[in-house]
């Protein structure tokens, strides 16, 4: 049986464009809130979020004691709508510059992490413009994929040539691919650090992820 990811592959998943290694996971329970979707979509999206967070070995929290909600989803049809969100400038100090940058880049998603003193993730702001490929995704695929990408601080190119989500042909249900599920679960092992900037972390992560992957495949 082949391994899920080699040490080198794991290192690349958390390597930035400048060549630096940077890893972080959540250091507190994840409490999501969603803005900009209708009442029919919301429960399906939250189910997808919950099922994907379960890959870490944890569950969703109702509230975060510091923020109330710490995993915030903002859906819009145009980026200028983000500038009108009440009190968002308290979390994004230079909100107009962010909106201008998103318009100039003409992207359809943006993810922003806020970190605790130990380097772990304490909040994630996810902005989604419902155009292009994003608009064509099912609620479950969108929820699973975006949540998985928010569980760790992946490198910018981590998913440029691969998707972490698979769709089961039998029923159309979206799941996290086993190799990514093993990697995320290994990253959330309590023995592992919540944050790391030394690439030797990839070696430790490989040992745990590979064992978990082999157990899954038996």
- Tell me the domain boundaries of the chain: 1-24+158-218, 26-151
Nearest to 15 by CA among 202, 210, 215, 216: 202
Whole-Å CA distances, 212 to 52, 91, 186, 204, 217: 17, 37, 7, 13, 9
- Write down the mean pLDDT value for the chain: 94
Q: What is the pLDDT of residues 60-89, one digit of tens each?
A: 999 999 999 999 999 999 999 999 898 999
pLDDT at 95: 94
Nearest to 76 by CA among 30, 125, 124, 114: 125
CA distance linking residue 184 with residue 173, whole number of Å: 20
pLDDT (mean) for 163-184: 91
pLDDT at 2: 60
Residue, of 2 and 180, whose pLDDT is higher: 180
- 133 falls in which pLDDT band (50, 70, 90)? confident
Q: Specify the pTM.
A: 0.95
Most distant pair of Cα atoms in the chain: their distance: 52
Q: What is the pLDDT of residues 98-126, one digit of tens each?
A: 999 999 999 999 999 999 999 999 999 99
The answer to whether 74 and 85 have CB atoms below 8 angstroms apart is: yes
Q: What is the pLDDT of residues 27-62, one digit of tens each?
A: 999 999 999 999 999 999 999 999 999 999 999 999
């Amino acid at each position: 049986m082949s391994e899920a990811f080699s040490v080198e592959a794991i290192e690349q998943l958390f390597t930035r464009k400048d060549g630096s290694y940077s890893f972080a996971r959540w250091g507190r329970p994840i409490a999501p809130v969603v803005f900009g979707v209708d009442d029919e979509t919301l429960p399906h999206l939250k189910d997808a979020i919950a099922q994907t967070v379960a890959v870490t070995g944890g569950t969703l929290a109702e509230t975060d004691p510091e923020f109330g909600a710490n995993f915030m989803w903002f859906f819009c049809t145009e980026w200028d709508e983000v500038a009108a969100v009440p009190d968002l400038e308290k979390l994004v100090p230079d909100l107009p510059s962010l909106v201008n940058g998103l318009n100039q880049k003409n992207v359809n998603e943006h993810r922003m992490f806020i970190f605790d003193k130990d380097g772990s993730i304490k909040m994630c702001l996810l902005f989604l413009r419902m155009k292009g490929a994003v608009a064509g995704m099912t609620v479950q695929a969108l929820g699973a994929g975006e949540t998985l990408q928010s569980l760790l601080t992946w490198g910018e190119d981590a998913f440029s040539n691969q998707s972490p989500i698979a769709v089961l042909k039998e029923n159309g249900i979206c799941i996290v691919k086993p190799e990514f599920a093993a990697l995320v679960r290994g990253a959330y092992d309590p023995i592992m650090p919540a944050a790391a900037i030394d690439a030797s972390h990839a070696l430790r992560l490989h040992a745990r992820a590979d064992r978990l992957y082999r157990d899954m495949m038996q």
